[in-house]
Amino acid sequence: MSYPYQVRSKEEYEEAYKRSIEDPEGFWANVAQHFVWKKPWTKVLEWNFKEPSVKWFDGATLNITENCIDRHLATLGEKPAIIWEPNHPEERVRTVTYNRLHKRVCQFAQVLKNNGVKKGDRVCIYMGMVPELAYAVLGCARIGAIHSVIFGGFSAQSIADRLEDAGAEYIVTADGAYRGEKIIPLKSVIDDALIGNKTVKRVIVYTRTRTPVSMIKGRDVWWEDEMERVEEQAPSGSPGGGEVQAHGQPSEESATDLNTSQSRPGAAAKSPHRGDLEGLAVEMSAEDPLFILYTSGSTGKPKGVVHSCGGYMVWTAYTFVNVFQYQPGDVHFCTADIGWITGHSYIIYGPLAAGATSVMFEGVPTYPDAGRLWDIVDKHKVNILYTAPTAIRSLMGFGLAPLEGKDLSSLKILGTVGEPINEEAWHWYDEHIGKKKCPIVDTWWQTENGGVLISNMAGITPSKPSFATLPMPGVQPILVDEAGVEILGNPAAGNLCIKAPWPSIIRTTYGDHERCRQAYFSTYENLYFTGDGALRDEDGNYRITGRVDDVLNVSGHRIGTAEVENAINMHSAVVESAVVGYPHDIKGQGIYAFVICPELHGGEEATRLNIIQTVARIIGPIAKPDKIQFVSGLPKTRSGKIMRRILRKIAEGETSAFGDTSTLLDPSVVEEIAKGRTLP
């Protein structure tokens, strides 16, 4: 298999870029024709950013799972689609071939149907990084249910809010999830989230950790029992009958040996599981929603970003094949969690749409030691490694010892995502992991974008340390000043906007279209506003400098300051708070909270811990403040607005140069806060 839409030289990139701008409809129709559609489109693109309304491939129908699985079966059936690396290295690897993936996804799609799930229903998925998570995601897509995956680091309260916002009636979860030395009791968190919930009818529970769970009659069912029931329903004689796993027993995939992750000779004789189940691939309109993924913004409540089936499929496959220059047979390892957009697009949908082999890792880079990622690269002969700058910085801190004896020679391409990568980390990655022979792609994009928008293409267009470099074909970035006036010429600096839609642009925020307009399309007329600031060098390369709104990026996780403030303010002793980011060596940004708390019950330290605990309860451990400073007042303007600019300076360590403070109601408060700064 090869990719007719793969760009193979700098000239081809320039040519593709030019065509994509001059004739976007022709360009994308040309790419999209290489996918399986049930009905062709009547119009490639219709859009306006006013409402906003964006329609790609309108009139066309498809099922994304047929593109990600079925169409590969004839040629790649016995090739690994997913190689699963467990949290505990001594546990067996599971290799899921395309045939197996097909069988499992169809089977789980039937489970969903048996439990009453219909097209358009919202299914919340709260699982660890196990292959069953991929089956659940794809099983939803198979029958047209809208999945909403929630990262395992969110609390019961966060889940409850999301369940309510999405009106979710179904949940897929597990008893627990392994994460390094810890076990996260997923089902128990779900039980807490469901207290008072009136919409959820069914919870399907996969057995992973054997953590005790309370199964509620009439609501909760076991994954294994449901799968078995479908197996029994399947037409007799269909292959795979009787293979079903008992609770917590390793399933048949795990029978594959550690070192037989490539296809097994002779196994091709086994035909894939066909029969009635195949009929489950529901015909979806290109613009039907595929999933919701919640993300933080500058207001208090996370937004449910909605992506649609057709455009998202085309974009994730196109960018996967081009950014990473994927070649058939390559092993791709994206270390993200499927709870975030990177996992959706570059562990599941993009790689599978391209018939690739995708490594899925259950654990963390530092367990059992800081050599874990390098062990995985060595063991599975990984060719493409895609990770986050925060992971690189944290591993750098362990020195070179964890690299000793690890064969990284299979690596061809390295990638980063999630935050700006500092030059030091870039060079360490280049020198010690890529051995100076692997191009590094610094991929800039957002949950709302569906896939990479600005990045070099590995080995095709040049990289430049700490620059995401050039836009993908179809992407028209511009820099604007505060008034929205385009900044022309190079070099330049400004707020990063995009002029026209690419196929996987956000379609709406679930249940509240106006919010989508407000957040992304109202700041500057006729532009999509990213919320990021950027520089452009003489050659037109973009360097993303970070958020210009009240959104923090902590270890590559997006967290709204307003959200954290709301959580802190829930603590009974807190009167008011203001949260800002500050530079953090490993996390990129740390969370610094200024808190007004007149009575420190049990002392300062105890109150601090209580506030941290409150945030963990309300949002989740990922939003815990790194520093809490108790203050008697906050720097406010006469109209009551907190001047975060000043607080940011204090958090960064500035002691005197605060700029103009004359508009403050009480300028003396600044000095007091600066004096009391909590030193790192």
Q: Which residues bind ligand WTA (CB under 6 A)?
A: 295, 340-342, 417-420, 442-447, 468, 530-532, 544, 546-547, 553, 558
The backbone torsions φ and ψ at residue 375, rounded to the nearest 5 degrees and listed phi first, read -60, -40
Beta strands 528-536; 542-547: pairing state: antiparallel
**Nearest-approach distance from CB 312 to ligand WTA, in angstroms:** 14
The backbone torsions φ and ψ at residue 575, rounded to the nearest 5 degrees and listed phi first, read -95, -45
| 247: exposed, middle or buried (Cβ count in 10 Å: 0-12, 13-18, 19+) | middle
**Nearest-approach distance from CB 11 to ligand WTA, in angstroms:** 25
**Nearest-approach distance from CB 129 to ligand WTA, in angstroms:** 17
Beta strands 53-58; 43-48: pairing state: antiparallel
114 versus 298: smaller Cβ distance to ligand WTA: 298
134 versus 468: smaller Cβ distance to ligand WTA: 468
Question: Distance (Å, rounded) from C-alpha 213 to C-alpha 11?
Answer: 58
**Nearest-approach distance from CB 254 to ligand WTA, in angstroms:** 31
444 versus 658: smaller Cβ distance to ligand WTA: 444
Strand-pair partners of 585:
none
**Nearest-approach distance from CB 589 to ligand WTA, in angstroms:** 10
**Nearest-approach distance from CB 357 to ligand WTA, in angstroms:** 22
447 versus 504: smaller Cβ distance to ligand WTA: 447
Type of residue at 191: D
Please, what's the b/e burial string for 530-554 (b: 16 or more CB within 10 A of its CB; e: otherwise)? bbbbbbbeeeebbbbebbbbbbbbb
* Sheet-wide strand order for 94-97: 94-97, 80-85, 357-361, 331-334, 384-387, 413-417, 440-443
**Nearest-approach distance from CB 437 to ligand WTA, in angstroms:** 22
Give 90's Cβ-side CA count (13 Å radius). Answer: 1
| Cβ contact 547:553 at 8 Å | yes
Residue nearest to ligand WTA according to CB distances in the complex: 447
Name the region of 222 (left: φ>0; alpha: ψ -120 to 50; beta: rest): beta
H or E stretch covering 29: helix 24-32
52 versus 418: smaller Cβ distance to ligand WTA: 418
Distances (CA, A) of 589 to 445, 448, 554, 569: 18, 21, 5, 22
63 versus 446: smaller Cβ distance to ligand WTA: 446
**Nearest-approach distance from CB 342 to ligand WTA, in angstroms:** 5
**Nearest-approach distance from CB 183 to ligand WTA, in angstroms:** 26
97 versus 308: smaller Cβ distance to ligand WTA: 308
341 versus 414: smaller Cβ distance to ligand WTA: 341
169 versus 442: smaller Cβ distance to ligand WTA: 442
SS3 14: helix
| 450: exposed, middle or buried (Cβ count in 10 Å: 0-12, 13-18, 19+) | buried
Whether the upstream peptide bond of residue 368 has omega within 30° of 0, thus cis, is: yes
117 versus 336: smaller Cβ distance to ligand WTA: 336
Whether the upstream peptide bond of residue 491 has omega within 30° of 0, thus cis, is: yes
**Nearest-approach distance from CB 340 to ligand WTA, in angstroms:** 6
Which distant-in-sequence residues (6+ apart) come within 8 Å of 270 by Cβ? 99, 239
SS3 130: coil
65 versus 446: smaller Cβ distance to ligand WTA: 446
**Nearest-approach distance from CB 6 to ligand WTA, in angstroms:** 22
